[in-house]
Structure 1
Amino acid sequence: MCGITAFRGTTAAATRARTALERLEYRGYDSAGIAARRPDGTTLHERTVRGVAALAAAVGPAETDATTAAVGHTRWATHGAVTAQNAHPIEDCGGRVFVVHNGIVENAEALRTELRAAGHRFATEVDSEVIAHLIEQALRPGVDLGDALVAARDRLEGSWAVVVLDARSGEIAGTAHASPLICAETGDGVYLASDVGAVVGEVAAFRVLEDDDVVEVGGAGPRWHRHDHSTRPRGLWPVPRTALLGSTGRHDDHMGNEIDEQPAVARRVVDALSPGIADGRLWKGLGLPPLDGVDRVCVVGCGTSLHAGQAIAGVFERLAALPTRALVASEAVHDLWEPRTLVIAISQSGETADVLRALDRLPARRGPVLALTNSTSSSLARRSDAVIDCLAGPEVGVAATKTFVAQVLTGVCVALSGVCASGRADAARFDADLRALVAAPEALRAAVEEWREPSAALAAEFATASGFLFLGRGSGLVYAAEGALKLKELSYRWAEHQPAGELKHGPLALVDAGTPVFVVDNGDPRLDVDIAEVTARGGRIVRIGERVLTVGGSAVHLPRSGPSWGPLDGVVPLQMFARELALRLGRNVDKPRNLAKSVTVS
C-alpha cells in the first residue's frame, strides 16, 4: 500500500523521484521520505509526517538539483508508529544503504534478533529495517549491489517490493515478491516505481518485475537477473491510454471531480464494449468458455470491488438463471471451491493482496478466471485466464467512486455478452437490460445534477447524527452496502447496511426518533412496509430512486423497474451525501484516515 519511486540519471534525480511520488501519495500518506546521492558523494536524506509536499524544500528546485540517483517513499503504516523516525527511506548503520519497501517481512523479528547479535544498530520500529542491514551485511568488497540485494531477498519471508540506493556508488537496485514494481527507461535515465501512475507522461512503455526478479541500474542502464538465471529484460507494456485521463473539474478535491466524471466514464465503457454484446463477440474475444460449460459464477473481491461483483452477478443470476455467490477475498482460505465455476476476480489496482491470495487457493481442476481490473499489466491480470480493462482511468480519491461504476458496467457488458452467446436469456428481458445499459450514462448524469443541492442539505441535517442505516432488497441491497461503506470511509461515523426485510429481526432496535435511514428503491413493493416500520419508530427516511406522482394532493410512490444489476444511478446520491457530510465534518475526503488506495498487504 506504500508508494515507491526511484530514478537514476544525469541530474535532478531527487526532483524526478519526488514528483513521481506526488502521483502515488494516495497509496499511503502517513509519512514520506526521500534519499539521494549528490555528485560529490554526499547524501540527501529527508523524512516527514507532513506529506510529500513537505519534501520540496529539502530537494530544492530542479534547476539546482544535481543529484544523480534517488529513492522515494510514501508510507501506509503496518509496523511502527507514524513518526519521521519510522518513515522510509531507511538507512543502514553506516549511512551507505538506503531502502524503501512496500509489503510485510513476516520473519522480521527473528532477523532483527540475529542482526543485533551481529552488531547492527536498529533505529526504527519497522519491519523494513532488517532489509537495509541484510544488504549492508552482504555488501562486502567484490559484491555488487544486485548480488547483495539477492542475498538479502533470500532471507526474507512475506511480501516485498524493495528498492535500494547505494550512496557510495550511486547505483540503485530493485526486487519484488508478491508486491508490484515496474521499471521504465527515459532518454536520460531509468525509473523504478510501484505503480505506472508514477511515470505517466514521462514514458510510453514499462517493464514489470515478476516475483524474485532483480534489476540493477548503474551507468550502463538496467541489468536484469531472474530466478532462472536469465539476463534478458522483460517485455514492454504500453502505458494505458486511460492512465492519462486524470479528473479535473469544479471541486478542490479529487473525489468530487471523480463523482462528476462518472457519466463520462460510463459513456466510455458503453461505447467501447456494447458493440460486442448482441453477437457474443465480447465474451468470445476474451477466450471464455460458453456458459453451458459453467455450473456457477463466483465473484471475488474486497470492499467496493466486491460490491461491484455482486451487482455483476445479478446478470448471470436473473438473466441466465446461473447460481452465483460472492466471496470476500480475505476469507477464501476457509472456502471450498467447486468445479466448473467461472471466477470473476475484481480489483481496481490488480494488486490487491487478498484477491491474489484467494486465487492461490484455487484447485488445479477448476473453471476459468476472469480478471476485471483498471490495470491490465497488474499481477491479477497476468495470473488470470482472461482480463478486461474497466476503463476508469486514474482515480486519486482513496474511496472508490468512478472505479465502482466502471467495474459494474464493464462486468455487465461481459456478462450480457456471455448470456447472449449462450442463448440462455429471455429475449424481452435481455432487450430491456441492453436498453438500460445504453441509458446508464444519461441516468448517472441526471443523478449527479439532481442530487447536488439535496445531498448538501441532507449533510447539514444529519451533521450530528451518530449512526446511519442503509436498507435495500434484491438488486438494491448491494448499493445500500456501498452507500454504508462510503459513509464509514469518509465521515468516520458508524453506518450499517441491512436487507430491509431483516429490520424486524433485530436492527429495528437501532431506530429512534430522527435516526437517518437511507432506502435504495429497486422497485420491490415490500419496501413500503419496511419504510412504514421505520417511520412508526420516528426514523428519518431518505428514499433513493423513488418515483413520486402527486394525485389529489397526495404523494404516490411508483415502483421503478430496473435492470438485472440493479439501480446503479442510486449510488450517486449516496456517494455525494458521504462526501458532503465528510466535508462538513472537516474530513479529508481524498485521504481518509487509516486507509490507502491499493491494498497490497494481506
Structure 2
Amino acid sequence: MCGIVGYTGKRAAMPVLVSGLKKLEYRGYDSAGVAVASQEGILIRKQSGKVAGLDQLIHDDPIRATLSGSHSGIAHTRWATHGPPTTDNAHPHLGPNGRIALVHNGIIENHNALRDRFKADGHTFHSETDSEVLAHLIESHYQGDLLQAVTQALREVEGTYGLTCMSADELGVLVVARRGSPIVIGLGDDETIVASDASAIITYTRQAIYLDDHDIARIEGSHVDIRSLDSSSVTRTPAEIDWSPGAAEKGGYEHYMLKEIFDQPEAIRNTIRGRIDTGRGTAILSGLNLTPRELVDIQRLLIVGCGTSMNAGLIGEYAVEDFAGIPAEVEQAAEFRYRNPIVGSRDMVLAISQSGETADTLAAVREAVDKGSLVAALVNVVGSTIARETGRGIYLHAGPEISVASTKAFTSQVSVLLMIALKIARAHRLSREEGIQIAQEIEKLPELVEAVLASNDQLAEVAAHYAGYNNAFYIGRGYMFPVALEGALKLKEISYIHAEGYHSAELKHGPIALLEEGMPVIALLNEGPGQDKSLSNVAECKARSAPVLGVVTQGDDEARQACDHVIEIPSCPHYSAVVPAAVALQLFAYHVARIRGCAIDQPRNLAKSVTVE
C-alpha cells in the first residue's frame, strides 16, 4: 500500500518521478505529491486525488522550469491510513524547518507519543499523519549527515516503514530504509531509481537490489551504500527483473483488468512450462527443493494467505486431499499469526501471496519458521520478501498484475497448487497412470481458458441482465465452493455490488431468508460430484423468485434449463474446471462493473499490495 519513488542521477528527476507514480498508482490513489531538490531548498507539490491531477498541477506551475530542472527528488501516491485523503495529509512531508522531506509507506505505531513530545517542544504539525512525525524526528537528529540522522531516528521508531528522504543541505543524496514495507533500488548508468516495486524501475533498468528489513541505504548518483540499523556495512546482491516494460502496459485494452484476464492463457503456459512430466505423471517443482523421500514425510499441508490467495488455497486444499490423501488446511494468514497455531516438523506451511509482501502472510511465514515447520512460498514477484525468507517455493511467472482485482495471479496460483498436489500425491499413493491423466489435464488449462475468452461478447450480454442489481449470492459445492467465494469477491471489489459466496448446502441454514425477486443467485453447476444436489438448491432459489445465472458445462441441457441465464465452460474434470469457471466469473464481474461505470482498475478504498495490518 502506498507507492514510493525516488530518483537521483543525470537526467531530470520530475519525469521519472511522475512516470513512476503512474506505474505505482494501483498501490494507492487517494493523493499524490513530489519533492525535488533545488538551490532554493526543497520544492513540494502535492494534492488530493489521483496522479493525473498532480501531473496537471506541475504542468501549470509558474516555476515549472525550476521544478523540471532538478536531478533528484522523491514522490508518493497514498492509500490513507492516518488522516483522510486531503492535500495536507498527502506526502511528501517536511520537518519543522523545511530542510528534510520524506515519503513513507507503513505505520509508525508510536507516533502519538512522538507527536506529544515534539508538541511540548513547540513543534507545529500540518497533517494528521504518522509520517509527518517521522520527518520531524529525522530532522531533530540532523547534524549535516542524513544517513546518520535517519539511522538514529529509526532506532526510536516502533512500527513499519519503507521510506525515502532527502535534505536541502545534501543535494543529490537520498536515504532509503525498510522495515516491513518493500523498497527496491534500480541500478542505472550514473543514476539510481528507488521504488516500492519494480514496475516503476523497469523502464530504466533491469538491475535491482531488494532491501531487507532494517536495511538503510545512502544513494548518490549511481553509488549505493547499504548499512544496517547498527551502522554496519551490508552487501545485497543485485537481481535481474524478469519481465519487460511492455508487460505493465494496457496493450490496447480499455482496462488493465481486461488485459490481464486475456493474458491468462499465456500466463498459465508460463506457469506450467517445464514443470509437467507427462511421461512419469508428476510435476517438476525444483524450487521446493524436496526429494520424493522428503515429500512422503509431509503428513499435513497448511496453506496460509489472504483474499484471492486464500481462495486459491482452498482449491489447493481440495486437490491435495483428493490426489494425495493427506490432510490439508487453509488458514487466513492473520489468524495463523495470532492464534498460536499447532504446527510440527512433518507439516509443510505453504504461504501464497501475489506480491510476496503481504504483511499478514509474511508474519505467518515467520511464525511457521519459529515453530519449526517446513515453509515454502508461492509468489509472483521475484525477489519479494516472502520468497527470500522462505528460501524455497515456486514463482508463478504470470507477469506483472496492475489491476487491483487479481485475475491471472489467481489462475496461475491454482495451476501451481494442482501441480503441488500432483507432486505430493505421486510421493504418496497416486499411481503413474492416474498421475499422467492429471498432468495431461493440467496441460490443457490454457486451452480451457481460451475457450471461455472466446465467449466474451456473450458474457457481456449476460452481464447486462444483472448490472442493475445491488446484491448477489454465489453458490457452489466441492471444488466450486472456493470459485463461488472468488467470484463474489471479484464482483464486490470492482462493481460495489454486495456479493456473498456460500457453499450450496449452507443456503437453508440462514442465507435463503434473503432470497427474493431482487436477489440474483450465480450458481456453479458444472458436471461433477454433487451436481444433482446443486440443481436442487437452484430449484429452491427459483421457488423464491430469485433470478439464477448458472455456470454450466457445455451441452448440459438439464443444468441450462434450470437457470434463467447461463455461462458455458468446456467439459473437463471437476478439479480443472475451477480455472475456466473462475475466468468466466472474472469476465462477468468486469462487464457488470463496466456497465455500472465503476473505476475498474482502481476501485475505491482498495490498493494492490497490502503491506500494513
The CA deviation at 1:57 is: 4.1
Task: Tell me the alpha carbon deviations over residues 54-100 of structure 1, each in whole angstroms, 9 at most, x when there is no partner.
Answer: 23345458998220210000000001011011000011122111110
- For residue 227 of structure 1, report the CA deviation from its aligned partner: 3.8
Change (3 A) 1:442 1:62: farther
Moved more, 211-220 or 295-304: 211-220
Note if 1:50 corresponds to 2:52.
Answer: no
Deviations along 1:238-280, whole A, 9 cap, x unmatched? Answer: 1123675235445311111111111121222222422489475
- Equivalent in the alignment of 1:240: 242
Find the aligned partners of 1:272 and 1:52 in 2 and give their Cα distance: 41
Q: Bigger CA drift: 329-338 or 245-254? A: 245-254
- Report if aligned partners of 2:43, 2:67 keep a CA contact under 8 Å in 1: no
| Aligned mates of 1:555, 1:511 — CA distance in 2 | 17
User: Percent of aligned positions with the same letter in both sequences?
Assistant: 34
- Cα drift, residue 42 of structure 1: 3.7
SS of 2:315's partner is: helix
Q: How many residues align?
A: 596
Correspondence 1:111-126 to 2 at 5 A: 111-126=114-129
- Give 2:154's aligned residue: 153
2:196 maps to what in 1?
A: 194
| Superposed displacement of residue 376, structure 1 | 2.3
SS in 2 for 1:129: helix
> Which of 87, 92, 111 is matched with 1:89 structurally?
92
Name the residue aligned to 1:33: 33
Match of 1:351 in 2: 357
Counterpart CA distance in 1 for 2:334 and 2:288 is: 27
* Distance verdict in 2 for CA 1:239–1:285, change over 3 Å: closer
State the secondary structure of the residue aligned to 1:158: coil
Q: Which amino acid in structure 1 is aligned with residue 88 of structure 2?
A: Q
- Post-superposition Cα deviations, 1:491-547, rounded to whole Å, max 9, x if no partner, equal 111111111011111111111125211111242222121111111111211111333
Q: Which residue of 1 aligns with 2:167?
A: 166
How far does residue 44 in structure 1 lie from its aligned partner after superposition?
2.5
Q: Give the distance between the partners of 2:188 and 2:65, measured in 1 at CA.
A: 17
Q: State the distance in 1 between where 2:246 and 2:393 align.
A: 20
SS, match of residue 362 in structure 1: helix
CA RMSD of aligned residues (A): 2.5
* Aligned position for 1:138: 141
* Matching residue of 2:132: 129
Measured after TM superposition, the shift of residue 156 of structure 1 is 0.7
Shift of 1:433: 1.8
**Structure 1 residue 463: Cα displacement:** 2.6
**Whole-Å separation in 1 of the counterparts to 2:244 and 2:506:** 42
Q: 1:546 to 1:51 in 2, by over 3 A?
A: same
* 1:449 maps to amino acid: A
Contact 1:549–1:555 (CA under 8 A) maintained in structure 2: no
Matching residue's letter, 1:301: G
Local SS of the residue matching 2:107: strand
Partner of 1:411: 417
The one of 448, 451, 471 equivalent to 1:446 is: 451
Gaps of 5+ in 2: none
Please say if residues 13 and 68 of structure 2, whose CA atoms lie closer than 8 Å, have aligned partners that are also in contact.
yes
For the residues of structure 2 that align with 1:428 and 1:201, how far apart are their CA atoms?
47
Question: Which position in structure 2 is the counterpart of 1:262?
Answer: 264
Matched, 1:397 2:403: yes
The question of whether the paired residues in 1 share the 8 Å contact of 2:323 and 2:421 is answered with no
Pairing 1:322–2:326 present: yes
Alpha-carbon shift at residue 408 of structure 1 (Å): 1.1
Per the alignment, in what secondary structure is the counterpart of residue 496 of structure 1?
strand
- 8 A contact 2:296–2:424 mirrored in 1: no
Structure 1 Cα separation of the partners of residues 214 and 502 of structure 2: 44
Residue identity opposite 1:544 in structure 2: V
Q: CA separation in 2, counterparts of 1:128 and 1:581? A: 38
Query: Which residue matches 2:503?
Result: 499
Cα distance change, pair 264–286 in 1 and its aligned pair in 2 (3 A): same
CA distance in 2, matches of 1:586, 1:550: 34
Q: 1:533/1:560 Cα in 2 relative to 1: closer, same or farther (>3 Å)? A: farther
Distance 1:549 1:33 in 2: 55
- Aligned with 1:87: secondary structure? coil
Task: Give the whole-Å Cα distance in 1 for the aligned partners of 2:406 and 2:557.
Answer: 36
| TM-score normalised by structure 2 residue count | 0.92
Give the Cα–Cα distance (whole angstroms) in 1 for the partners of residues 562 and 21 of structure 2. Answer: 54
Q: Is the 8 A contact 1:433 1:564 kept in 2?
A: no
Of 88-97 and 247-256, deviating more is: 247-256
How much does 1:285 deviate? 5.2
Give the corresponding residue for 1:590. Answer: 601
Deviations 1:404-448 (A, max 9, x none): 11111123223323322x152144543332222111101101111
* Preserved contact between residue 192 and residue 221 of structure 2 (Cα < 8 Å): no
Query: Kindly tell me: are residues 204 and 549 of structure 1, through their superposed partners in 2, closer, same or farther at Cα, counting changes over 3 Å?
Result: closer
Q: 2:555 — aligned with what?
A: 548
Distance, in Å, in 2 between the alignment partners of 1:396 and 1:518 is 27
TM superposition score normalised by structure 1: 0.94
